[in-house]
A and B are shown apart, each in its own frame.
Chain A
């Protein structure tokens, strides 16, 4: 199920990650335990994030996917 960048940001931060808006470009930067992962943000916080992205993001940042989905 897709979600918004706003909700994804909150869920990542709840698991100890950080999400920062860049000075330029269309990707925000999520970071957790020293690992960076770009978040597509061409529509700012309203950007709708696809299911396939959520899976890959959890994999790369070693987020608990079940917990993240409950927080979305």
Chain B
């Protein structure tokens, strides 16, 4: 069994008014969803796909790590934002939503990764962190 603790930054999409984007920084995987809750489910699924595919091919998934400039936003959120609950986030209107940093824990059975079986459901590992809305130009990724 191998456990991956990964950082995800999620926010409303700048260019699609009904979409949210989430970026798993440890795997440099970006995905989309129709709400905050949906994009978190999507990033769990996307991350699991990448990890399982890499492990089945004998590759190290964390070598895909996002460029340094992508991590700068996450660090800013974590150091200047405040913790919030999922329940509160689900009630925040999109227009008032900034960027959120989330820790995702992914547990993968290495033997099953090779055989392509199901894995433990990825879950949140830490409180969520929330910041005020940020303008699109400082999203480096």
Partner-B contacts on A (CB < 8 A): 1-2, 25-27, 29, 34, 36-38, 40, 42, 47-53, 55-57, 59-60
- Any chain A CB within 8 A of the CB of B1? no
- Any chain A CB within 8 A of the CB of B53? yes
Contact A60 B64 (CB under 8 A): yes
| 4 smallest beta-carbon distances between A and B, as pairs | A36-B53, A56-B30, A38-B46, A40-B32
In this complex, which of A1, A37, A38 has the most chain B Cβ atoms within 10 angstroms of its Cβ? A38
- Contact A52 B42, CB 8 Å, known A36-B50, A59-B28: no
Contact B45 A1 (CB under 8 A): no
Partner-A contacts on B (CB < 8 A): 13-16, 19, 21, 23, 28-34, 38, 42, 45-46, 49-50, 53-54, 57, 64, 66-67, 139, 141
Partner of B23, one of A1, A38, A52: A52
Complex: A38 Cα to B27 Cα, angstroms:
11
Can you list 28 A-B pairs with a CB-CB distance of less than 8 A? A2-B15, A26-B42, A26-B45, A27-B45, A27-B49, A29-B53, A34-B57, A36-B53, A36-B54, A38-B50, A40-B31, A42-B32, A42-B33, A42-B38, A49-B32, A50-B19, A50-B32, A51-B14, A51-B15, A52-B30, A53-B21, A53-B31, A53-B32, A56-B28, A56-B29, A56-B30, A56-B66, A60-B64
Complex: A37 Cα to B28 Cα, angstroms:
10
Contact A36 B16 (CB under 8 A): no
- Contact A37 B13, CB 8 Å, known A27-B42, A55-B141, A56-B141: no
Contact A38 B16 (CB under 8 A): no
Contact residues in A for B16 (Cβ distance below 8 Å): 2, 48, 50
How distant is B111 from chain A, measured CB to nearest CB, in Å? 20
Contact residues in B for A60 (Cβ distance below 8 Å): 28-29, 64
How distant is A59 from chain B, measured CB to nearest CB, in Å? 7
